[in-house]
Structure 1
């Protein structure tokens, strides 16, 4: 079912990504920190929510410093096929990261339709951009399908046209269904939407929320209990927690996640990533 390798960074990681060959019924994931993941399937690569700089600290100062360096730099990612962003917060739709990758002639950027005007302000051309809305499905190169679903971060938020500003995505890789939630809390409609998608891999945040962070303007996410319960209710084969470890002041101890899942759902498969680690999932 799974093969795990020692993690890498920089040039070694770039070589590992390029050299990873997979059968159709397998995909590889690399964890890049926060909610950043690189996914490879059938020679196609997708970057989800890449935050590969220290731009949040450069804009806001303490306490927004990274706990670890990014395993990849933006310039390492000029060969990716797609960059998919869930919403416009700087640690998910990072202007510095995206503007470097924009130099690539092959990369297309998929963002909530509500954020297309912002990307155009940043200098992106129409032909580089793909806007997507809640409930929409799009076909990507290589036989990949991407479905978008609204997320609550902690509430639904829409623009004047009714376009949701926070999205999660189900990527279908020839029958392997990967859900990247973006930033969200749990809510009943989400369970209903995902139960019909036969999710194999669920990537869900665990950093949670509380009034202290709310007072600081930090919008919250699922806590570890919610993430586990969502995965169980949608019958996900594998649960991967995310959005922890990078910013100590907006964090959760992942040991609580492990303890909860072992106590209550010991048969639920999960994987904890080290930064830059490769993980191969085979259906």
Structure 2
């Protein structure tokens, strides 16, 4: 079992220390799978967090066990000061009641952004629609200090229930792809956003996994390059033994393309003092 770089109290201490001593920087922590905590200028965001064992428990006695590879970084009820949470689609590792209910109990004013097509499903899963904000593909909303735009994702099809998000916070533009394959016109849709950071899955797709597909590592690296992402960060690996890939191919392709990247371990932070366009 992989142990996070920072976990539980040590993780929370790092979050509070980084945000207090460098509030002007952009701080990113990988929570595992596709989940990130992002903090900047007093605002804390959670992108597609999965912080429970619900899938391992659900599938324990089935022919597709979700055997966990990495320990949980932090209990969701311990995360405070969260103003915005995203869910890119309805799969449990992106919309998990056992993660989101305690998060929203601790952060009752936080807004949870979901695709408009998923509003009813999300309300049923969470038992409430109070904190939900629906965003259709191509729509933009300003929520507190963050501007959020929903963009298409193909998991495996281009459907309104699958989205990625472009988030603008301060001087930073972030692209969280959600679960997606490459699709026609994808670079043209994303390049105008000129993301400073692109969070991209690298676990690929294999028929025997019996799960919907994602980018392979080389595809993620090439996508980051073609959309002009100033930094790429890989995700969606090292959580379940049946559905993972090492980041080696992603790293190799980024190096070949001269695409800047950062590979994080679960519970690890990377901090950027300035957006790349400003010399950071």
Pairwise same-fold verdict (TM > 0.5): yes
1: CA distance between counterparts of 2:212 and 2:125? Answer: 24
**More displaced 10-residue stretch of structure 1: 245-254 or 46-55:** 245-254
- Pick the aligned partner of 1:109 from 104, 109, 112: 112
CA deviations on 1:158-212 (whole Å, 9 max, x unpaired) are: xxxxxx1011001111231110000001123221111101111011111101222
State the match for 1:160 in structure 2.
none
Closer, same or farther: CA 210–125 of 1 in aligned 2, 3 Å: closer
Alignment RMSD (CA, Å): 1.6
State the match for 1:3 in structure 2.
none
**Does the alignment pair 1:60 with 2:59?**
yes
2: CA distance between counterparts of 1:124 and 1:137? Answer: 26
Whether the aligned pair in 2 keeps the contact of 1:54 and 1:65 (CA below 8 Å) is: no
- Pick the aligned partner of 2:227 from 230, 234, 253: 234
1: CA distance between counterparts of 2:251 and 2:126? Answer: 43
1:257: how far off?
Answer: 1.8
Secondary structure at the aligned position of 1:151 is classed as strand
Whether the aligned pair in 2 keeps the contact of 1:208 and 1:222 (CA below 8 Å) is: yes
- Pick the aligned partner of 2:215 from 212, 217, 222: 222
Q: Which has the higher contact order (CA 8 A, sep 6+)?
A: 1
CA deviations on 1:232-252 (whole Å, 9 max, x unpaired) are: 100111011111111121111
Residues 1-283 of structure 1 aligned to structure 2 (within 5 Å):
7-21=5-19, 22-24=22-24, 26-61=25-60, 63-103=65-105, 104-142=107-145, 144-157=146-159, 164-213=160-209, 216=210, 218-262=211-255, 264-265=256-257, 267-281=258-272, 282-283=274-275
Whether the aligned pair in 2 keeps the contact of 1:146 and 1:172 (CA below 8 Å) is: yes
CA deviations on 1:100-131 (whole Å, 9 max, x unpaired) are: 11213222111111121122223554431111
Q: Gaps spanning 5+ residues in structure 1: where?
A: 1-5, 158-163
Closer, same or farther: CA 124–226 of 1 in aligned 2, 3 Å: same
1: CA distance between counterparts of 2:23 and 2:104? Answer: 29
Whether the aligned pair in 2 keeps the contact of 1:79 and 1:106 (CA below 8 Å) is: no
State the match for 2:278 in structure 1.
none
1: CA distance between counterparts of 2:14 and 2:76? Answer: 16
**TM-score scaled to structure 2, two decimals?**
0.90
Whether the aligned pair in 2 keeps the contact of 1:102 and 1:124 (CA below 8 Å) is: no
**TM-score scaled to structure 1, two decimals?**
0.89
